[in-house]
Chains A and B, each alone.
Chain A
Amino acid sequence: MPSSQALIANPLIVLREEFDDWAILFDPDTSHSYGLNPVSVFIYKRLDGKHSFEEIVSELRSECQNAPDDAETDVQQFLDDLLAKGLAGHAAQQR
Chain B
Amino acid sequence: MPPNRGDRPMRTMLTPRSVDLSITNRCNLNCTYCYHFESKGNSGRDLPTEDWLHFFEELNRCAVIDVTLAGGEPFLRKDFRELIDGIVKNKMRYSILTNGTLVIEEMAAYIASTKRCNSVQVSIDGSWPGPHDAFRGEGNFERAVAGLQRLKAQGIPMTVRVTIHRHNVDDLEAIARFLLEEIGLPSFSTNSAGYVGQCRSHSEDVQLTIEERTRAMETLLLLNEHYNGRISAAAGPLAEAKHWLEMETARRDGDESHADCGQLRSCGGVFSKMAVRADGEMVPCSQMSHIELGRINQVDLKETWQHHPELLRLRERRTISLADFEFCKDCPYIPYCRGNCPALAYTLTGEENHPSPDACLKRFLEAGGRLPERRNQPQQDCC
Comparing A26-34, A36-44, A45-53, the segment that makes contact with chain B is A26-34
Rounded to whole angstroms, the CA-CA distance of A28 and B117 in the bound complex is: 10
* Chain B contacts for A28, CB-based, 8 A: 65, 88, 91-93, 116
Note all chain B residues with C-beta closer than 8 A to A15.
63
Q: Which of A12, A16, A18, A28 has the most C-beta atoms of chain B within 10 angstroms of its own C-beta? A: A28
A14 near B65: Cβ-Cβ < 8 Å: yes
Residues of B close to A17: CB separation below 8 A: 14, 63
Interface presence of B118 (CB below 8 A)? yes
CA distance A29 to B93 in the complex (A): 8
| Chain B interface residue number, banded | 10 to 19
Give the number of residue pairs across the A-B interface with Cβ within 8 Å. Answer: 29
* B9-63 interface (Cβ within 8 A of A): 11, 13-15, 17, 63
Bound CA span A19–B17, Å: 12
When distances are taken between beta carbons in the complex, the residues of chain A under 8 Å from B92 are 28
Which residues does chain A contribute within 8 Å of B14, judged by CB atoms?
A: 17-19
Report the minimal beta-carbon distance from B68 to chain A, rounded to whole angstroms: 15
In whole angstroms, how far apart are the Cα atoms of A15 and B61 in the complex? Answer: 10
A12–B13 touching, CB < 8 Å: no
Q: Please provide the chain B residues from 87 to 110 with a CB less than 8 Å away from any CB of chain A in the complex.
A: 88, 91-93
**Docked-complex contact A16 and B63, CB < 8 angstroms:** yes
Q: Which of B13, B63, B88, B115 contacts A14 (CB 8 A)?
A: B63
A16 touches B116 (CB 8 A): no
Q: Is the CB of A19 within 8 A of B11?
A: yes
Chain B proximity of A76: nearest CB distance (Å): 27
In the bound assembly, the distance between CA atoms of A16 and B302 in angstroms comes to 13
Q: In the complex, A12 Cα to B88 Cα: how many Å? A: 11
Complex CA gap A19/B116 in Å reads: 25
Q: How far is the CB of B117 from chain A (nearest CB, A)?
A: 11
**Distance A14 CA – B64 CA, assembled complex (angstroms):** 9
Q: How distant is A65 from chain B, measured CB to nearest CB, in Å?
A: 24
Q: Give the distance in Å from the alpha carbon of A36 to the alpha carbon of B14 in the complex.
A: 15
Residues of A contacting B93 in the complex (Cβ-Cβ under 8 angstroms): 28, 31
Q: Which of B15, B116, B118 is the one whose CB lies under 8 Å from A29?
A: B116
| Bound: A21/B343 CA distance, A | 33
Residues of A within 8 A of B13 (CB): 18-19
Interface string of B109-130 (1 = CB under 8 A from A): 0000001101000000000000
Give Cα A18–Cα B63 distance, bound, in whole angstroms.
Answer: 9
B255-292 residues with Cβ-Cβ distance < 8 A to A are none
Of chain B, the residue at the smallest CB distance from A17 is B14
User: Which chain B residue lies CB-closest to A26?
Assistant: B65
CB neighbours of B11 from chain A (8 A)? 19
The 7 closest A-B pairs by CB, nearest first: A16-B63, A18-B13, A28-B91, A19-B11, A14-B91, A14-B63, A28-B93
Please report A residues at the B interface, Cβ cutoff 8 Å.
12, 14-19, 26, 28-29, 31
Could you list 9 further interchain pairs (A-B, Cβ under 8 angstroms) beyond the known A14-B63, A16-B17, A28-B116? A14-B65, A16-B15, A16-B65, A18-B13, A18-B14, A19-B13, A28-B65, A28-B93, A31-B93
Give 13 pairs: A residue, B residue, CB < 8 Å, sorted on A. A12-B91, A14-B63, A14-B65, A14-B91, A15-B63, A17-B14, A18-B14, A19-B13, A26-B65, A28-B88, A28-B93, A29-B116, A31-B118
